[in-house]
Chains A and B, each alone.
Chain A
């Protein structure tokens, strides 16, 4: 089923999308928001630029974007998969609790902010290029992988990564020596078991974007983890 989004407002387009389960392809998408919000049973391919809050509260559906996506992709997403063949804007995967987001290009500010995990629900964001400032702010769970495959010479991360991080893991390709991490986190070289943990995500990334997995499978990765799941414990006194 194909839908031509040209000239359609977001509510009309989303009403159409919600009526159809199964495979959908949307052409001429231009800024329509909330596509597939809360969707569980469908596979959506988007040609064009979807608007903000793509796949918000996603509950199992698959979304593939041939192009860049804007802000708040996968906001509070719970399950499913979002693939972006391009860049994403700010706050991708905000408060995400499950599923996976694969981005071939760069991510904006605050990627994976307040991402969390619970039991079998372990969200993953794989960013092919670089990530903006405040990556993984308040991260409470899940895995964020930044591969740094971008070619514009900019650093792999912006400023202030992992502010308030208290769970989960961040993987950066390379030694990331120049990145300043906050005191409540620990940085170390990835061990074989760390690498085993992300091997399937790397394989899927390579498969999705037609990259030879061997290109970086032997490269060094840096892992950042929080020291404590209670970073603010010592801050208060009862009054």
Chain B
């Protein structure tokens, strides 16, 4: 049977997120709880989490989380990594053996720094170099898949229900200032861990609910810039679009939202503000990066998260807060599971980004 990447597998989902604006570090236990009342939005074929601020002692190093099918794949991959990186730590990611999670691959993490000599020879900044390394391993190394590659952050994912995946990875032992979560409802059995979400590249991670109908138009555009959509999932293409627009084009988060969930022309035509004309400009410049069809996403990045619905709001999403902690989820019940006393419950409109950032210097 074809696995993720060989065939496009649409899926529906549940998402949630929490973030402390003061940078207070929270264990992964709470975010795992959020997925329990949304159990029926997943079907046991994928769950995952991303935590930010979880590796403070290695904050200067890229944390690569990798799945290997077998030791020889690991050997080949490590050989390649050593050519370009200093590996300061290499260890298996701690797990808890539970009956709900089976067919466990080798799950490894490396804390690495690109070698300065290699960077100067290739005339690349380190982000670009790491991004290329990830693309290369994932598209060319058989049996190896890098599923997390940011600094002081990490994605954890598996085939299973998300609440089981959280227990499996012992997330209660990690503490981070922000967390995102995903429960997946794919339309077939991927049977492959790489296909679970979040999808992460560098510091960006994406959890997503819905199936975009613009997928191939978006994919064919973004692949012009060196990205390879090896998974054929919406989440992957959204992460690349975010990386391209934020990191490489230097757009702000609001501008990113205005490209992928562009306002209707009728809305733009009705206004003559500077803001409208810049949004119209972005819509004209990046027509191939407009996402249509249902989606609600949470984009995680260093120091913040952004939540966004498609412009017709075909998926549900709710936000709330309690003092410094902000919550986002597909259903209010998920937020209440994290914090029964959460207040300021709000349903963002379609295309209205909700951006929450940690105070400068607090992460």
Asked if A and B touch directly (CB within 8 angstroms), the answer is: yes
- Chain A residues proximal to chain B, CB less than 8 Å: 9-10, 30-33, 48-49, 51-52, 68, 70-71, 87, 89-90, 106, 108-109, 132-134, 158-159, 180
Contact between A70 and B349, CB atoms less than 8 A apart: no
A70-B316 in contact given A31-B37, A31-B331, A31-B337 (Cβ < 8 Å): yes
In the complex, chain B residues whose CB is within 8 Å of the CB of A10: 40
Contact between B267 and A30, CB atoms less than 8 A apart: no
Contact between A71 and B316, CB atoms less than 8 A apart: yes
Question: Within the complex, what minimum Cβ distance (angstroms) separates A88 from chain B?
Answer: 9
Which residue of the partner chain, among A51, A106, A158, contacts B333 with CB atoms under 8 Å? A51
Contact between A89 and B347, CB atoms less than 8 A apart: yes
Which partner residue on chain A sits nearest B267 by CB separation? Answer: A159
- Chain B residues proximal to chain A, CB less than 8 Å: 37-40, 264, 267, 270, 312-313, 316, 318, 331-334, 336-337, 345, 347, 349-350
Contact between A30 and B336, CB atoms less than 8 A apart: yes
Contact between A31 and B38, CB atoms less than 8 A apart: yes
Contact between A70 and B333, CB atoms less than 8 A apart: yes
Contact between A87 and B347, CB atoms less than 8 A apart: yes
In the complex, chain A residues whose CB is within 8 Å of the CB of B312: 133-134
List 18 A–B pairs whose Cβ atoms lie within 8 Å, in order of A's numbering.
A9-B39, A30-B37, A30-B333, A31-B38, A31-B334, A32-B37, A49-B336, A51-B37, A51-B331, A51-B333, A70-B316, A87-B345, A89-B318, A89-B332, A89-B347, A106-B347, A109-B350, A159-B264
Question: Within the complex, what minimum Cβ distance (angstroms) separates B37 from chain A?
Answer: 3
A33-B40 in contact given A68-B332, A70-B316, A108-B316 (Cβ < 8 Å): yes
Q: What is the CA–CA distance of A30 and B336 in the complex, to the nearest angstrom?
A: 7
Q: What is the CA–CA distance of A10 and B333 in the complex, to the nearest angstrom?
A: 13
In the complex, chain A residues whose CB is within 8 Å of the CB of B270: 180
* 17 further contact pairs, Cβ within 8 A, besides A68-B345, A89-B347, A109-B350: A31-B331, A31-B334, A31-B337, A48-B336, A51-B37, A52-B331, A70-B331, A71-B331, A87-B345, A87-B347, A89-B316, A108-B316, A132-B349, A133-B312, A133-B349, A133-B350, A159-B264
Which partner residue on chain B sits nearest A159 by CB separation? Answer: B267
In the complex, chain A residues whose CB is within 8 Å of the CB of B336: 30-31, 48-49
In the complex, chain B residues whose CB is within 8 Å of the CB of A33: 40
Question: Within the complex, what minimum Cβ distance (angstroms) separates A29 from chain B?
Answer: 8
Q: What is the CA–CA distance of A159 and B318 in the complex, to the nearest angstrom?
A: 19
Q: What is the CA–CA distance of A118 and B267 in the complex, to the nearest angstrom?
A: 36
In the complex, chain A residues whose CB is within 8 Å of the CB of B38: 31
Question: Within the complex, what minimum Cβ distance (angstroms) separates A185 from chain B?
Answer: 16
Contact between A70 and B267, CB atoms less than 8 A apart: no
Q: What is the CA–CA distance of A70 and B315 in the complex, to the nearest angstrom?
A: 12
Which residue of the partner chain, among B40, B337, B345, contacts A30 with CB atoms under 8 Å? B337
Q: What is the CA–CA distance of A230 and B21 in the complex, to the nearest angstrom?
A: 53
Which residue of the partner chain, among B37, B313, B337, contacts A132 with CB atoms under 8 Å? B313
Which partner residue on chain B sits nearest A48 by CB separation? Answer: B336
Question: Within the complex, what minimum Cβ distance (angstroms) separates B277 from chain A?
Answer: 19
Which partner residue on chain B sits nearest A107 by CB separation? Answer: B347
Which partner residue on chain B sits nearest A90 by CB separation? Answer: B316
In the complex, chain B residues whose CB is within 8 Å of the CB of A70: 316, 331-333
Q: What is the CA–CA distance of A159 and B265 in the complex, to the nearest angstrom?
A: 12
Contact between A109 and B313, CB atoms less than 8 A apart: yes
Question: Within the complex, what minimum Cβ distance (angstroms) separates A89 from chain B?
Answer: 6
Ordered nearest first, which 4 A-B pairs have the shortest CB separation? A31-B333, A31-B37, A109-B313, A49-B333
Q: What is the CA–CA distance of A159 and B269 in the complex, to the nearest angstrom?
A: 14
Q: What is the CA–CA distance of A133 and B347 in the complex, to the nearest angstrom?
A: 12
